[in-house]
Amino acid sequence: MTRKYFGTDGVRGRANEHPMTAEFAVKLATAVGSYFARDAKNHRVVIGKDTRRSSYMFESALTAGFTAAGMDVFVLGPMPTPAVGRMTHSMRADLGVMISASHNPYHDNGIKFFGPDGFKLSDGVEHEIEAMLDTGNYAPNSSRIGRVTAFHDAQYRYVEFAKTALPGNIRLDGLKIVLDCANGAAYKIAPEVLWELGAEVIKYGVEPDGKNINENCGSTSPDVAGQIVRDTGADVGICLDGDADRIIILDENGKAADGDQLMALIATSWAEQGRLKHNTLVSTVMSNLGLERYLETHGLALKRTPVGDRYVVEEMRAGGFNLGGEQSGHIVMTDYATTGDGLVAGLQFLHMLKERQVPASVLARRFEPVPQMLKNVRFAAGSTPLESADVQIAIDRGTERLGQDGRLLIRKSGTEPLIRVMGESSDHALLENVVNDIAQAVADAG
């Protein structure tokens, strides 16, 4: 079934353009609230947000819709996405909402929903909600208007939880850490956690102004933080994204290690401790071939899913796995959280750094990646470039040229009007030619 409003991670788009308008947010919240508050009992929803200026607008619009549907609203303020998932469950809420477009620029925004178990909504529930929106089959009841409460303890609760995610009795005393919060949702929480655990924290990206979220900072732009690591002689750097569900690690030389490297480290460490369920890591089709080969040498399996942390989590829940993630830095550890949690994943790395007493560069480079090239090709609204015969011919030709030692993945983004063309091969010149040829064919068709 084709999705009309929901993508791979909630509803997302440019603020003040459909569907990301205040008017639609009221309708969406009323429909979702009606879905989750179908009886006369008291129902509650928690709402967190990142630091975009539009997040405050959507917070007000969603609050209006939920209260109209009879739900009591608890406003959490700026909070990481994983914190909202956890607070939804711990506060016995029927629903959780995170207002964020994650790593996207400030002019974009999104609305993500969590069910009462703290996990993101299933495809089936989202389809039902879309049907309600299309048919108008939801109606506020004048006798059931909800209340609104500003819940000021949320940040402190999450600080205390995150501290417990540092295994054992290890503290971070003696570590100098550069922490880049992307001017996003974790700008208060993450520095507080690391400082309370004893670290010397050099903060960057902690001065949000509503427009600078992810701007030359965070997990998608780690260069400045890397330079700060080098300039200050820090032991390690941690770069989060706008809603703090992603992480990139920087070693003592300021060199970045992506989610694949961190997953390789955690998977082998947990396997040695007997903690890795079914000796399997779950990741997406985007993860590097080098990760798969590295796991195989350690007797571990890699189970791949479509792109999107929601699909990783669905596979983890279905198969009883407890570790998964994405190359982009989503690290999902269901022993701790219901979605990717950049801060908790970072604490896993810092624990091993203190325990093993080796430089961050030793831990952060688990395997040699197979050369990988990714090109994003923007296409016009209404265009379907992947259905073009010329594009299919280019893909078939590229697959044949790469052979068994390479890999191609061409897909439509679930959050932006982009076709992502990714290839892997040990022959870098061949890889570049193949990816460029396919990207050009997509551009011509789009």
pLDDT tens track for 192-242: 999 999 999 999 999 999 999 999 999 999 999 999 999 999 999 999 999
- 34 is known as an active-site residue: no
Per-residue pLDDT at 40: 62
**95 neighbors 103 (Cβ within 8 angstroms):** no
Instruction: For residues 144 and 42, state if they share a domain.
Output: yes
Collapse the DSSP code of 126 into the 3-class scheme (helix H, G, I; strand E, B; otherwise coil) and give the result: helix
pLDDT digits (tens, 9 = 90+) for 303-339: 999 988 889 999 999 999 999 999 999 999 999 999 9
Is the pLDDT assigned to residue 167 strictly greater than 80?
A: no
Domain count, the chain: 4
In a domain, 381, yes or no: yes
Supply the CATH number for residue 230's domain: 3.40.120.10
User: Which tops the pLDDT comparison, 41 or 199?
Assistant: 199
Instruction: For residues 334 and 264, state if they share a domain.
Output: yes
Report CA-CA distances (Å) from 427 to 145, 294, 383, 422, 434. Answer: 63, 19, 33, 14, 11
Among 100, 124, 152, residue at a domain's last position: 152
Is the pLDDT assigned to residue 2 strictly greater than 90?
A: no
In a domain, 5, yes or no: no
Domain residue limits at 69 = 11-152
What's the whole-number average pLDDT of the chain?
94
Cβ density class 265-298: b for 16+ within 10 Å, e for less: bbbbbbbeeeebbeebbbbbebbbbbbbebbeee
pLDDT digits (tens, 9 = 90+) for 100-154: 999 999 999 999 999 999 999 998 999 999 999 999 888 777 778 999 999 999 9
Give the pairing type, strands 108-114 and 11-14: antiparallel
Instruction: For residues 89 and 191, state if they share a domain.
Output: no
Per-residue pLDDT at 18: 94
Per-residue pLDDT at 1: 52
Per-residue pLDDT at 382: 83
Residue from 102, 219, 283, 425 carrying the catalytic annotation: 102
What is the mean predicted confidence (pLDDT) over 380-405? 92
Instruction: For residues 24 and 89, state if they share a domain.
Output: yes
Is the pLDDT assigned to residue 17 strictly greater than 70?
A: yes
Instruction: For residues 356 and 423, state if they share a domain.
Output: no
**How many of the other CB atoms lie within 10 Å of CB of 299?**
9
What is the mean predicted confidence (pLDDT) over 357-373? 95
> In angstroms, rounded to a whole number, what is the distance separating the alpha carbons of residues 54 and 20?
10
